[in-house]
A = this chain, B = another copy of it.
Amino acid sequence: MRDNYRVRTDLALETTERFAQGHVEIRGVEIQEDYNEEKDIRTTVVWIRTENGAKAMGKPQGHYITIEAPNLSIPDEDYHREVSEEVAKHLRHLIDLETEKSILVVGLGNQAITADSLGPHVVENLHITRHVIREYGLKGMGEEKMHQTSGIVPGVMAQTGMETSEIVEGVVSETKPDVVIAIDALAARSVKRLNRTIQITDTGIHPGSGVGNHRIGLTEENLRVKVIGIGVPTVVDAATIVHDSMAHLLDALDEAEQKEFLEEMISPHLHSMFVTPKDVDETVKYLSFTISEGLNLAFLQR
């Protein structure tokens, strides 16, 4: 199928489901699932171990932790705290808090588009400590153990004229953080997953991902520093929705026929469109708070 017509998802979990339907095990990919019934939080770790696994999944090697919490978009402060703690727990696994003491949080996305504004909102809610610790030491914060956190909202290429990666590379090379955490709004395949799923990965942000389809990724390879990506699916590609709905209808056709048919049917307009829920403003507000609290819990040792 031409690249344009590939069903797109930024969630590794959704990619595994494609295989799971046929109950096929994917070589080089380990999947571990954990369900906390009381809290109604399901955590799935997809570990792509080999080059082969990466090819099969269409995603780079590494860990993809998915936290699914159906009530995540509902305004319940206590629930959020549990998800925040879950986020903090996984960050503490991925980051060596003893040796990696300075963290740069990058809020990707377009502040002016509600569905793409998750990253900027997270940075806005963060407790920023780097300048205080550098000026006054840890005593300045009244804490013995605390990370140096800094944050930046690089904007999008149409506003800056620069690749996001250029800006972040520059800031990283000047301020030399031990770890970069990039926050982004993602595209899912299924509307059911919108705004109730948080993905954490140690593979960073890859080209073609995110609501705005980054052209160049943010990875350890280009930033020369560990990069963790945290994302929440807030949109579905419009073409995907039509594709999925029609695919069922076309079960009778073979794959080549299906492909030809869908390429004709799906308007090229649809590929620059996205689908998003009507209450996206409230949800992005709550989600960004939950994630920034997760970061604050992980790094401020309160």
Contacts and interface: CB of A to CB of B under 8 A. Distances in A.
Interface of A: 110, 112-115, 123-124, 128-132, 148-155, 157-163, 166-167, 169-175, 191-192, 211-212, 236, 238, 241-242, 245-246, 248-249, 265-267, 269-270, 272-282
A203 to B, nearest CB: 22
Contact of A131 (B154, B158, B267, B269): B158
Given A153-B155, A277-B273, A161 B266 contact: no
Contacts of A277: 272-273
Given A158-B282, A161-B149, A175 B171 contact: no
Contacts of A272: 277-279
Query: 9 closest A-B pairs (Cβ-Cβ)?
Result: A170-B170, A130-B161, A150-B161, A170-B174, A112-B281, A128-B161, A170-B171, A242-B245, A191-B269
Give the number of times this chain occurs in the complex, counting copies: 4
Contact of A167 (B114, B158, B174): B174
Chain A's interface: helix, strand, loop or mixed, by majority? helix
Contact of A162 (B130, B173, B238): B130
Given A171-B162, A241-B242, A281-B110, A267 B155 contact: no
Contacts of A273: 191, 236, 275-278
A105 B242 CA distance: 38
B170 A278 contact: no
Given A170-B175, A191-B270, A249-B249, 16 more contacts: A128-B159, A129-B161, A150-B161, A151-B159, A152-B155, A158-B282, A162-B174, A167-B170, A167-B171, A167-B175, A170-B171, A173-B174, A238-B238, A241-B270, A241-B275, A246-B246
